Amino acid sequence: MQGLVEQRFGMESLRSIEKCRELLSKNFDNFTNYTVACTYKLLSRYEMGYGRVNYSRFYLNCVKSYFDGNEPKNSFERNMKQLIRTAEIVDSHNEMGHLFVKNLPEIFEAITNLPLPDEIIKVLQQDSVNSTNYLDQMKIIEIIVNHTVQFSKEKTNSYKTEEQRKFIDNYLENFKSIFLNGLSISMLMRSGQGNELIEEAALKVTYSSETEYFPLLPIFVLPYVALASRFHLQIVKQIENGQTQQESKKNPTSVDYYEILAKDLLALRVLAKRYKRVEFSYGTMMNEMDEILKKKVEQSSQQNVEFSTTSDVATPQTTHVESSCLIDEQPLSFLLGFVNEAAQHSQPFESSNQHIAENPFHFLSEDFSQMLSPDFSFF
């Protein structure tokens, strides 16, 4: 558990995971022991974020051996079995989100213990998304996700301080914004909808990555951040090839896509400091983004052109996410430097008491593990 918290907080030290493996080596074949099975499950989740998929699946199979065809006998074992299924769904999750949409009712029931009506499940089981059923599916998904988030808030509100409740509320809203807009992008692409709707959703994902809560989000958001980044990368390529104009269709005078690309690169690098899987899966794309931005800075310098955005940009708002900590608009050369510097120093929490005392989220260092419990397995 401590290793997962360290991973989520971006700590480079892996002492807890190494110690866990060392202790587990003495009981590795005692898979009928509940504590050993739980340890295997936590290691599986850690490796999922690290990017070693085979290791993750191996540990998960060890957990399955605990049941060996037997049904759960108590609430702890039922939670364990739900976590196994959630891990399998997240493991198969990709940018297009097709399998996840089908599995959403199962995740909803695992978290809330409430089954969805068959009529709703039937809508989400459709193999194809088109202009006819896209809106129906997205409305249902929004209702399910909103209810799941609200359930998780209420689950913790009974024993959290006001400071903690505020953090968890904003954290979950930030997650929800990236998840819903990211899933909207993938479904719009699969349904063949117009680029303007995709553009709007992709910008919202980018703006949501600028909150103070983003660095703590789970590996689950990675495909959607990458999907928005890939979409913006294609726009920049079209701009360079003269195939489209620099300005956004949704905001014709306000969005500079080179700066949006810089924000996307920063978001990916922040996640990469926590999850090695980012480099494994999207390292090539990140290098391409970096090269394009460096080239643009050099061109701007040579032409003595200051590359900046207007100060009164009207950006799409993310639902209920506080934006007081958004990065100020700056020239592209500054943003590129900020991307490199911020990613290198995006280790907000150290294990020393001094740094914990300076951390504005110090209260999470003690009980952040609650957000890794069965009720928060989705987040």
- For residue 344, which amino acid is it? Q
Query: Minimum mean pLDDT among 45-49, 182-186, 355-359: which range?
Result: 355-359
- The answer to whether 183 and 327 are in contact (CB under 8 A) is no
Whether the per-residue pLDDT at 267 is higher than 90: the answer is: yes
Whether the per-residue pLDDT at 307 is higher than 50: the answer is: no
- Mean pLDDT across the stretch 286-292? 97
pLDDT at residue 298, as a whole number: 85
Q: Which residue has the higher pLDDT, 246 or 77?
A: 77
- The answer to whether 155 and 377 are in contact (CB under 8 A) is no
pLDDT at residue 3, as a whole number: 82
Whether the per-residue pLDDT at 368 is higher than 70: the answer is: no
pLDDT at residue 366, as a whole number: 40
Angle 228-229-234 from CA coordinates, rounded to 5°: 100
Whether the per-residue pLDDT at 311 is higher than 90: the answer is: no
Q: How far is CA 142 from CA 60, 127, 232, in A?
A: 30, 19, 24
* Residue 108: CB atoms within 10 Å: 21
Q: Domains of the chain: which residue ranges?
A: 1-91+349-379, 94-347
pLDDT at residue 320, as a whole number: 34
- For residue 325, which amino acid is it? C
Hunting for tokens 């037997």 — which residue is that? 70
**CA-wise closest residue to 286 among 267, 302, 312, 300:** 267
* Residue 246: CB atoms within 10 Å: 12
Q: What is the pLDDT of residues 204-262, one digit of tens each?
A: 999 999 999 999 998 889 999 999 999 999 999 999 988 776 555 555 447 899 999 99
Q: What is the pLDDT of residues 115-165, one digit of tens each?
A: 899 999 998 888 788 888 888 899 999 999 999 999 888 877 766 688 888
The set of residues, in sequence order, having a beta carbon less than 8 Å from that of 259 and lying 6+ positions away, is 309, 329, 332, 335
CA-CA distance, 87 to 85, in Å (whole number)?
Answer: 5
Q: What's this model's pTM, rounded to 2 decimal places?
A: 0.73
pLDDT at residue 34, as a whole number: 86
